[in-house]
Structure 1
Amino acid sequence: MVDGQRLSTAPGAHRLVNSLIHTRNGSVETGFVKAPGARLYYEAAGRGHPLLLIHAGVADCRMWDAQFPVFAEQFRVVRYDTRGFGKSLTEDVSFSNRQDVSDLLDHLGIERTYVIGVSRGGSIAIDFTLEHPERVAALIPVASGLGGFKSGSRPVQETQMFAEMDRLWEAKEFTRLADLEVRMWVSGPGQPPDRVALPVRERIREMILNNYTTHKVEGQSIVMEPPAAGRLGEIRVPTLVVLGDLDESGVLAAADEIVRGVAGARKVVVPGTAHMLSLEKPEEFTKIVLDFLQSLGV
């Protein structure tokens, strides 16, 4: 084993690899992992300690385009589309996102990894750390959700925006829903709609619409019990919580809860950013992550 990665791959894994793309920065392996009722798309590149990237619920693995090649210079970096997002299709079955992560790591021959997750991906990362503590070397929840956490009352504007998102979802008005989600998650609640550069807003809007229009079947996610909010004290790995100060109040409260609950957890707030801070300020975000991982001395 080298840096937490087995030298051999899981049995039969090579048969599922689609291609090996050669770039100026090295080769990128692309393929699909078989999981119960699904095929999970992934990309892997680089050498060194494994680093897993889990995307937000308003995106797919392309949200990591700015970070993926940079991280691949120092790590064995893996990004994937969670079930029902991007290129990862699912059948109408019950499934566990934690098990999907485990199946992906098994497929790639990875025993232990650093994990970064944004928003919904952060919640998956935390749950995976609790369910498979032996497989996580460091945890970075970014603008993260937190299973079982109740943030309390919200500002009126946020409450109204969430209610309207629910209404648009039920009505299947996906174009209007994508526009509203961009205002909430990219610009930030209460912020000018054009606060973030148009290319960033358009990129995330495209990913949102693609997920809504491509994936007619979602499956049923099995919630971890007991939920993470009451188990944060079980997390024993180096943890860095990252968020923007313009995010919605529930995310801000969840970040404080994670820092309180995980022994030794650090928190970095990126001023002037909202929920999708890794796309809004990619260079600053990348530096924060690299500084933290390099401080671990691996």
Structure 2
Amino acid sequence: MSNAEHVQSGLAEINGTTLYYEVAGAGHPFVLAHGHLLDRRSWDEQFAVFAQRYRVIRYDQRGFGDSGLITKGKPYSDRQDLYELLTFLGVERAYLMGVSGGGQLAIDFTLEHPEMVDALIPVTAGVSGFQPPEDLAVKHPLTVRLFTELEEAFTKHDVARAVEVSLELWTDGPGRLPAHAAPELRERIREMTTHNWMRPDDEDQAETSPVPLEPPAISRLGQIGAPTLVILGEWDAPNPLEQLTAEIPGAKKVVMAETAHHPFMEKPAEFNRIVLDFLESLKA
């Protein structure tokens, strides 16, 4: 069995919770951080492929997938969770890629621990501290309508409706007709999102907000020193990195055609080639 085929998995007990992780391959560490609709399984088309060249680490963030719940009243930081997980796994430096909320985590982690990040790949990522423009409703009325419907569904505790709206907003994307993403992709994401949003949320284990990065990334992108590749989807909702990429010194940007918020799941072969070519260029 090759290194790429052998998967080490386990639960790391850190910072008052447990993080489920999987490791495969050998070589330079390469960390994959999932989006906040998803879990580690969203990287299925990348995990084994990248493990042919790198030591790939994917994990479920706190409150997602098979990792521990978020404990009410106890402050935590996703950045500190990742730091402690890497320490647990004996990783001192790594390539770091994250999508959506995981992409925001990757950016924030790079700013907080620049000595640990050899390359940064934010995919359709958020930027901490970013505020939507005042004319968003004028320029992107469909996006604003879907966000409003999503908030209403959460207010009514209608998880099924919230998941369906999130699929229209993120999986289909405002640039594509509703339900026009591949059916198997929609169902994959539906299952992960439903699992995350249906997790127990009782008095002892209730969601609380993570400690934010201070100052936030929005005012510090120019401090990022790691080689950076930003990947966006053509049909995604407006993404701050579309304009802010230029603030990251030397950053490269790729917009993947005919994809929305999850280009790595929609066109995995093309996505993998883009990422691997970028990482190989660093060796040159």
Instruction: Give matches, 1:11-26, under 5 Å.
Output: 25-26=4-5
In structure 2, the residue matched to 1:289 is: 275
Instruction: Give matches, 1:80-95, under 5 Å.
Output: 80-90=59-69, 91-92=71-72, 93-95=74-76
In structure 1, the residue matched to 2:247 is: 261
Distance in 2 of aligned mates of 1:200 and 1:24: 28
Distance in 1 of aligned mates of 2:4 and 2:99: 25
Q: Does residue 209 in structure 1 map to residue 198 in structure 2?
A: no
In structure 2, the residue matched to 1:120 is: 101
In structure 2, the residue matched to 1:144 is: 125
**What amino acid maps onto 1:274 in structure 2?**
A
Distance in 2 of aligned mates of 1:292 and 1:194: 32
Whether the 8 Å contact between 2:29 and 2:54 is mirrored in structure 1 is yes
Q: Does residue 37 in structure 1 map to residue 16 in structure 2?
A: yes
CA shift, 1:215, in A, is 4.3
What is the percentage of aligned positions where both structures have the same residue? Answer: 45
**What amino acid maps onto 1:174 in structure 2?**
V
Paired residue secondary structure (2:45)? coil
TM-score (norm 2): 0.93
In structure 1, the residue matched to 2:86 is: 105
Distance in 2 of aligned mates of 1:195 and 1:26: 34
Aligned match of 1:135 in 98, 116, 122? 116
In structure 2, the residue matched to 1:185 is: 170
Structure 1 residue runs without a partner (length 5+): 1-21
Distance in 2 of aligned mates of 1:126 and 1:158: 24
Structure 2 residue runs without a partner (length 5+): none
Q: Does residue 234 in structure 1 map to residue 219 in structure 2?
A: no
CA shift, 1:205, in A, is 0.5
CA shift, 1:169, in A, is 1.1
**What amino acid maps onto 2:229 in structure 1?**
L
**What amino acid maps onto 1:61 in structure 2?**
R
Whether the 8 Å contact between 1:122 and 1:144 is mirrored in structure 2 is yes
CA shift, 1:282, in A, is 0.7
TM-score (norm 1): 0.89
**What amino acid maps onto 1:84 in structure 2?**
G
Aligned match of 1:76 in 34, 46, 55? 55
CA shift, 1:24, in A, is 8.9
In structure 1, the residue matched to 2:185 is: 200
In structure 2, the residue matched to 1:11 is: none
CA shift, 1:285, in A, is 0.6
Paired residue secondary structure (2:118)? strand
CA shift, 1:38, in A, is 1.0
In the alignment of these two chains, the number of paired residues is 274
Paired residue secondary structure (1:296)? helix
Change (3 A) 1:190 1:272: closer
Distance in 1 of aligned mates of 2:276 and 2:7: 20
